[in-house]
Amino acid sequence: MAAQKDMQDLLRLLTTGRNKIPMLAAMQRVKALQSANLRRSSLLLHSTAPTPLLTARSISDIAAIDLPSLTTALSTDEKTAKSLLAACKANLKSGPSTPGKRSASDTVSSTSAKRPKSAYELSQEPQTPAELEASLSLPQPSADEEAISKCAVVTNRAPLVLAFAVQLLKYTMPEQPLSGRLSLAQAVVSANSRSKAVSIGIEKGKGAEEEGWGAGQPKVRILGREVSVLKRSGYEWKEEEKDKKVLDHVGEAGEHSTAASEGTLKEEPDSGTVKLEEESQAAASIGWTVSSPVTVKKSTFVARSITITSPADATSALQTLLSENKELREASHNISAWRVQGPHGILESSNDDGESGGGRHILGLMQADNIIGVLLVVTRWYGGIMLGTDRWRLMSMVSRDAISQRLRIAGVVGQDALWGLDLEGMKKTNSAVTGSGMPIHRPEGARTYIMKAFGSPEVEGTGKKKKSGVALDREREENLGLLLGALDMLYKSWDGHVSREELDRKAWGWYVQVRPDVAGGVAGWGGKGEVKLSDILKLRRKE
């Protein structure tokens, strides 16, 4: 138990206070400290003798480590290590020996029963899916229309976008668990915030998305904005409910039903054929999807993909594409590959069009991802400089971009639980190159943010007596329940009357109509205003 408390103290120190870091990063630092053999500070020992080795398992252990050893163990800069060392020493000084003070372990013990668990157990073992989803629970959306209509909240714009997106995804992507909805919603908020920061001059230069860090990743559209996602293949959990709901959605391509309650990630046993047919029909109506162009050393690559059902379709589609696009006919190469389902197996073919090995390369990409029923064309304009093997990477990049767009639009991505990718984090850590794992928007942070974002307006004549922290938290939680209830009533009124795509488009317009008024430009950055929930109810579909 002592070791467990030591770790709790250390994690709490790392994730709170002035220099707090995310829980996942804190876990990684603790692991690094526990696995390193560190040298105890000779100053602490008041000795010039060789200093003994130490394994850091607690705050007191870290306080006894010399700065160079700590810097090396954390693989960070000296300033960060020095800050941690100072925080550990300060924590020891304000420990239980000081009257009126409570130790970090006392605080953790007294609040653990009230606070949801983090996404990771303190033993560094991940929670089960059911435990993770339970730890992220939000207030139950209120069904009290009278209470909702009387409620007003004070907030800034970002958490309101988050609330709009979290509830919207229950209707546009009902297969997503709460953890996924929070992560995807946070991705939208982060992208919107960066766009706003650039527009008002707070941030300058190209963002990660503009620099192509999301290239090749699947994307989904939420509140009119495309966000890059990461599939959580194999993530399944089932929440037992007394009353299972059947969400009927009428799409532009026809009517279909999805039997699913919120948080259920399990396909119906007989639904596979139906879903494949729906995906095929949706994909067939898309036409060509085109990747973002990539230019390196004056050579430019662009990929296109289109749905086909036979070898004749592939030939016809390629001929039509080239005949209707003069710039493609004038390109150096139009490399192509296709795969279709034949009566006795897969039929496939490729064409280098002068780029030796190019056709086989992109066909191999399709084989690796089991892409069937698609013609892929990669166009290259040669810039006069040999690229060597780098051309294979560029072909792969644009190919995956074009194909991922087709999968996203056809709805194939929606069958998996998803994380929202943190492209700015990916850029900072260079994770796509180093292979250290793709940064995601953690649902825990989104939940914490939304739980504390919706206060109540000040009421005149109530005096200057301040509410306690507990009372404020309770008030914000109740307000969030009323806000989620208002959004549920809004989305339900339109659900089944418009397609999911149309509902997504409408949702952004609704947000714009009710968002708080703040000053323009830099002066309004992070500014708060009042939102009347009755204004949300007025947007419901009228019978």
pLDDT on residue 121: 30
Distance from the first to the final alpha carbon of the chain: 61
pLDDT on residue 41: 55
> Strands, E, within 396-482: which ranges?
418-420
The pTM (predicted TM-score) of the whole model is 0.52
Cα angle value 190/191/194 (rounded, 5°): 85
Q: What is the DSSP string of 44-70?
A: HHT--SPPPEE---SHHHHHTB-HHHH
Is residue 431's pLDDT more than 60?
no
Is residue 462's pLDDT more than 50?
yes
Task: Look at 524 and 493; give whichever has higher pLDDT.
Answer: 493
Rounded mean pLDDT, 177-202: 89
Angle at which helix 104-111 crosses helix 2-15, to 10 degrees, equals 90
Is residue 468's pLDDT more than 60?
yes
Asked whether the beta carbons of 336 and 308 are under 8 A apart, the reply is no
Look at 23-37, 169-183, 247-261 and tell me which has the smallest mean pLDDT: 247-261
Quick: pLDDT tens for 317-363. Answer: 999 999 988 889 999 999 999 999 888 888 999 999 999 999 999 99
